[in-house]
Structure 1
């Protein structure tokens, strides 16, 4: 479900479209001298604002998909880590080396991404700040890399099971790094898309909300405060969202 603020942004843009429709109906009598209030500029601003909303939605979906991909990639890390320790214990590895592997395993088992992260609805708004779980994922990657280093250093660690072999684990490690990095990249993109949308809608003087206010003032000045024309548009609400 979209957040209240996301709905507010869309409502501002929809109301701006309504405002344009009314002033377009006034014909040649709607003739402001200020260029930004002329109909072609209003229509261009509406198009730009509408596109910025679409961009936020698209970037938001990409972010949530990246989060879901990361959840899937990390899902088996904890049980896999335990299997790796068991496999190492079945070799000629020294007690010290096995203890090193167990240490990394304990860290992996204990470094769940804050609370367990579940797949998210692709339509759910991305958070306004990236969560502390990002750091937890970074740490899990480091611990898993340490585990692989211990296994690779043991000559007798040559399991027949493909999923436990060092080459397979290194591929797994790269997948974890890639999916984790994609979340960071996708979050930066959705955050930047919000900044651009807010600039178009809410920047002083040139933003959609301020422009709508100026259109209302112009209509009021031309047709009068009690005119039917001003009566049509005075109640169209615009609000600056945070």
Structure 2
């Protein structure tokens, strides 16, 4: 029952430090080191990377990479929420602008142009789809598609402001519809969008560094653990109690942020 509950929790919290993820590999590696220390002088490998001091250093580096990845993930999540908040009222605001523009004395051609740009804003991928894309794991293609949508929204809103700026008769009394306020809104959208891009780059790089130290086929944590097991097997024998102590310690490749 406990295992089933843990499995349910892992699925619910995708990026958590779970018992089936990167943290579990690190915890198991710590257990492996403890057994090696317990073998005493009998554990004496020639290869430097298998010596206890090297294993402890590798574990420390892995834990640092895991902590850094979590920190960058938090930054990415915060930037995602900030950008979503900056864009959340764009469609309703755009509709208000169109209505205000239509009664500002603008000519029919200008009104049609404004309505055309507004349709682009209203017709972009739904806010719900963007939220779903950001709440899922940040796969590169998924992030790219979401980013293109936000880039288009910025571009369309910039077009709205340009149309307003070219119409001297557009001078609403409502503060949130004034051109200066809309320009400030546009700047905030651009800033939040840029911050999101930067935070994802940092998060992606942190994941790459974590995966490198843990899953490099030549020097990563999993490969080192495999070699430690082979060494213990060669020293004590395949049927020895010492080898049985460590042979069942599991290490799994987890390239995603789980």
- Once residues 47 and 104 of structure 2 are traced to their aligned partners in structure 1, the CA distance between those partners, rounded to angstroms, is 81
1:65 aligned onto 2:72: no
* SS of structure 2 residue aligned to 1:238: coil
Q: CA deviation at 1:114?
A: 6.7
Check whether the contact 1:67–1:120 (CA below 8 A) recurs between aligned residues.
no
Q: CA deviation at 1:237?
A: 1.2
Residue of structure 1 in register with 2:159 after alignment: 146
2: CA distance, partners of 1:125 / 1:21: 37
Q: What residue is the counterpart of 1:208 in the other structure? A: 221
CA RMSD in angstroms, aligned pairs only? 2.2
Structure 1 portions without partners, runs of 5+: none
Q: CA deviation at 1:66?
A: 1.4
CA shift digits 1:136-179 (9 cap, x unpaired): 11111111000000001111111121111111111100111111
Match of 1:126 among 118, 123, 137: 137
Long gaps (5+) in structure 2: 1-12
Q: 1:9: which partner in 2?
A: 22
Give 1:88's aligned residue: 101
Contact persistence 2:88–2:127 (CA under 8 A): no
Question: Is it true that 1:183 corresponds to 2:174 in the alignment?
Answer: no
Give the TM-score normalised by the residue count of structure 2. 0.86
What is the deviation of 1:49? 0.9
Structure 1 residues 206 and 135: alpha-carbon distance in aligned structure 2, compared to 1, 3 A threshold:
same
Normalised TM-score (structure 1)? 0.91
Partner of 2:186: 173
1:193 aligns with 2:206: yes
Query: Would the aligned equivalents of 2:133 and 2:146 in 1 still touch at CA under 8 Å?
Result: no
